[in-house]
Structure formats: C-alpha cells, structure tokens
Amino acid sequence: MSGWGGGGGSFGGGASGGGGSFAGGALAWDPSVTGMACAQLREARLRAEDAVRALRAAPDLAVAAAPGVNAAGLRWCGAELDARAAAAQALVGELDLLHDHTMLAGQSYEWASDAVRGLIERVAGTVAYALGTAVRTAALAAAPWAVAIGLVAVPLAAKLLLMHPELLASLTQRAQAAGTNLGRFLEDTSAFWERAGEVLMANPAFTGALALAVESTDEALAGLLGIPLPLANSVESRIGDDEVLGLLALSAAGGAGLLTGGGRVQAVFSRPVSPPSRPVTEPAEAMRIILDQDEQVTIAEFTMPDGSTRYQVFVRGTETIAPSGSSGLDMRANLENTGAAGEQLRGSDAAVAEAMREAGIEPGDAVDLFGFSQGAGAVANVAASGEFRVENALLVGGPVGAAEIPPEVAVLSVAHEGDIVPALDGWADGDGVQTTVVESAGGHGTGPLARHSGEEYLDTFEGIDDFAVDRWTQRMAALTAGGEPVSAVGVQLRRR
C-alpha cells in the first residue's frame, strides 16, 4: 500500500480514526498508515487500562482462616490478581512508549519525505521551465508570427469544427482524395494507445511522473511566456502550488467555454427513487449504487435512532468530453473543479452543493459523501467548502489531492495502481488528501484508462483486505447503526 498526495499534516493533531485519546479528547481522522497504527495502539492502551481497573476492583481475598474457608488459596488468588494487575499496568506503559516511538518514526519519515518531495519538485520545475523556454525560443526563431496566428487560428478552427461537423467530413474527403487515409491514421493511432497505453499507465513510476509533470505546468508556462524563473517561483511560494494549478485550470476551463459554449453546471431536475434499505457503510455498496443509479447524483435521507437526520450523497464520474444536453459531468467541469478554492465552487462541485441544498440538507445535518472519478473531485470540494456537516467521505479514483478537507471528516480515498486520473491533480500540498493506492482486481478496463474502470473498482472493493478500508468501514457502521430510510431523489446535472 502506498499513497498519493501530500505527506505533511498527518501528525499535527495526533489524528486517529476514533477510540479517544490519551488525554481523553476526541481526535480527528487520519488515514495514513502511521495514524492508523497509532490509533490501534491507543485503543489497545484503553483496553489494558480497563483490565487494570477490573483487576484492582476485585475484593480483598486476604481473609482470616475459618471452617470451610481455604485462606491460603484465597491469598494465592489475591496475589495472582495483584501480579496480573501489575503486568497490565506495565503493558500500559509499554504501549505508551510504542505509541510515542511509532509517532516519532512516522513524523521523521514524513519530514524526510517532504524534504525529498520539495527537492524533486524544484528540479522538475527547473526542467519544465527550461523546456518551456526552449519551445518559445524555437517557435519565435522559426516563425515569429506563427505563435500569434496560432493563438487565434487554432481555437477558431476548433470552434468551426464543433459547430459544423460537415467541415470535418469534408476535411476527411479531401485527405482521401490526396491519397491520405485520415481515418486509417486515426484508427492506427487509437490502436497504438490501446496496446501500449495500458502497459505504460500501469507503471507506478509513470503515474508518479505524470503527477509531477502536472505540478510543473506553471513553470513550463512561465518559460513559454518568458517570465523569469525567480519571479515565477516567488509567485508560486506566495500563492501555493495547488492554487497556481487551480488558476491555470480555471483559465483552461474558460478557454474551453469559449470554444464549446454552454453556461455553468446546474442541478436542474430531481425525481424520487428507492433509497437503500439502510445507510451505506461499505465501499463496495457505494460503488454499486454509483454505477447503477440513473441520474448523475443520488441523495438519500435516513432517520437515526436519536431522531436526527442523516443524508448520503452519491455522485458519478465524467460522462462526456464535450458539453452536451445530457450531462454536466464533462471535461470542462473537471477543470472548473480543480480551480475550486474553499467556499468558491465553480463546476460540478457547485451543482452537487446546489442539489444538496434543494434536497433539504440543513447545515446541522450529518452527511456522508461518496464519489467516483469526477464525482470524487466534486464531493471532495464540497467537503472542503465547510458548508455542510460532512462526517465521512469516500473518494474513488478521483483527482482529489489538492482538496483541503477539515480533519474532522473521515476521508477514505482509494485509487488503483496504474489509474492516471488521481495523478491529474498533481502533487498535492501538505494539507491535501492522502490516497491509498491498491492493486486492481482487473478484468474490465482496456487501454490507457483500464485501471479507471468503475466495474474494476467494484470488484476490488468486494475482495479488498486493507487496514485503512476496514477501519473506515467500521467507523461508518458505528455512526450509522440503526438508521432507517426515509426517501431518496435522483438529481440530473446539466450545463446551461
């Protein structure tokens, strides 16, 4: 098991998945391996303390001899109880020491990891800047006007092809008349990526390099535009890597909007659907609902034994590349989600929050969020916004590394080895989401996005044996026990 996302911030609050703390205070959720191990040690210490109290609560067995009373045997039992209480107390101390050593080792590893990551990012940024400068120099030397013309001509040509498909057909016919089989070329290119892409993407080194390349986009752009590297680094250090990447994503989303048209993603229609028979507690259950639901979003309401209300929200992944009338979960929405900052939601994340408000979710209602792919990115941003009282979030195969979700939210983020989608969010800052990377069950996906198949994630969850997943599932079961279904609605997301 390994992790995407930031290494920092895991130990700031001594976080745990539950079970209290040595000081008696509630602790935040920590999905890291060290956090989970420390939580188990804390729970073991509490059990040992319970044993000490129980043993010392036994009555005094040192009694005077009397007819029918084995005083010697009772004294032996009393001594044995005292010895076991002392051993349990010693175990408490050993668990304390082991907890501290585990925490220190994990923190030391985290600091070292952060230092190495920082060095790698600086080197990669310098290389990206040099590449951007080289491209700019070559382009200007070859044709000074080519860049300016291309900035106008390329988007205009794309716009015309999108508005007039007959132009693309005409282009294909002209290519064929000239002896060029454009269709065959496109087919061969696609076949190549079907063959080679899956092998390439399945390499963890490649997916890690891809995340680093995405993180270095701003340096490459600075080199392309001729901005001095010290100035670019100064801006990045003041604003933050994730914020700069978000601004670039928003710029790309704005450009996509000019090319394709269409307004913002909205929650435009909802209809009643059958709610789950009980609150969902397992990742496999959540994935099954996400894959089977008819609409882009499902919101289920439950009544808890104490009379409170709990909501569970399920969001699908990207359904179309270009905006269409059938779904707002398009590629442009991915860029808009990447540009989210705190309460500022701009893409499908804003539409999910809108759907939640329309479903009647109040600020004090407990909420569990479940999302796959783009849906994971959307619900991660909703949780980070702080508008709702989100208690748990399951993020599957999503670009979620930059989402700074409050520590009181129990986040389980899972991605397959070889799934490149989580890498598209770059290397997250220290406060971002940590993702558990697991081996895929396989058997469904093909091509470069083979390991991103929702069916593969479902199969993986049905057979997974992972400590972080088990602990999150146990927490969900404890928080939702006794919940009774009330109603559910399916919500459509559209770009208008």
Model confidence over 43-75: pLDDT tens digits? 888 888 888 888 888 887 776 767 777 778 888
- Pick from 99-103, 105-109, 492-496 the range whose average pLDDT is largest: 492-496
190 is a domain residue: no
pLDDT tens string 279-322:
999 999 999 999 999 999 999 999 999 999 999 999 999 998 77
146 is a domain residue: no
Query: Which amino acid, one-letter code, is at 383?
Result: A
Q: What percent of the chain lies above the pLDDT cut of 90? A: 30
Round to whole Å and give the CA distance between 2 and 220.
Answer: 28
- pLDDT at residue number 304: 97
Four-residue CA torsion sign, 66, 70, 72, 73: negative
292 is a domain residue: yes
Count the Cβ atoms, other than its own, within 10 Å of residue 429.
Answer: 19
Task: Let me know how many helices (H) and strands (E) the chain has, helices first.
Answer: 16, 9
User: Residue 357 sits in which domain range?
Assistant: 1-61+70-140+202-496
Cα 149 from chain centre:
40
Round to whole Å and give the CA distance between 304 and 248.
Answer: 43
pLDDT category of residue 490 using cuts at 50, 70 and 90 = very high
172 is a domain residue: no
Strands 435-438 and 410-416 turn out to be parallel
The CA-atom distances, in angstroms, between 187 and each of 181, 190, 445 are: 10, 5, 19
Give the 3-state secondary structure of residue 108: helix
Round to whole Å and give the CA distance between 25 and 328.
Answer: 43
For 402, the token pair is 């930059």
- Pick from 102-111, 175-184, 203-212, 264-273 the range whose average pLDDT is largest: 264-273
For 256, the token pair is 């996509």
The better pLDDT of the pair 230, 335 is held by 335
- pLDDT at residue number 199: 62
Lowest mean pLDDT among 351-360, 437-446, 464-473: 437-446
Q: State the burial class of residue 281 (Cβ atoms within 10 Å of its Cβ: 0-12, 13-18, 19+).
A: buried
191 is a domain residue: no
Q: Which residues contact 463 (CB under 8 A, 6 or more apart)?
A: 441
Mean pLDDT of 242-261: 50
The better pLDDT of the pair 267, 137 is held by 267
What is the DSSP secondary-structure string of 259-293? HH----EEEEEEEEEPPPSS---SHHHHHHHHHH-
- pLDDT at residue number 35: 74
- pLDDT at residue number 346: 83
On the CB side of 264, CA atoms within 13 Å amount to 14
Decide if pLDDT at 145 tops 60. no
CA nearest to 344, candidates 392, 393, 404 = 404
183 is a domain residue: no
The better pLDDT of the pair 389, 38 is held by 389
- pLDDT at residue number 207: 64
Round to whole Å and give the CA distance between 356 and 436.
Answer: 28
Are residues 342 and 366 in contact, defined by beta-carbon separation less than 8 angstroms? no
Decide if pLDDT at 239 tops 70. no
187 is a domain residue: no
For residue 341, what is the DSSP state? B
Decide if pLDDT at 389 tops 90. yes
Decide if pLDDT at 227 tops 70. no
Mean pLDDT of 375-395: 95
Decide if pLDDT at 192 tops 60. no
Decide if pLDDT at 27 tops 70. no
pLDDT category of residue 264 using cuts at 50, 70 and 90 = confident
Where do we find the tokens 């899956």? 198
The alpha carbons of the chain give a radius of gyration, in whole angstroms, of 28
Q: Which residues contact 286 (CB under 8 A, 6 or more apart)?
A: 280, 314, 370, 394, 396
Count the Cβ atoms, other than its own, within 10 Å of residue 482.
Answer: 11
Decide if pLDDT at 325 tops 60. yes
Q: Into how many domains does the chain fold?
A: 1
Where do we find the tokens 């900052």? 341
Question: Facing residues of 438 across strands?
Answer: 416
- pLDDT at residue number 234: 59
194 is a domain residue: no
Cα 326 from chain centre:
26
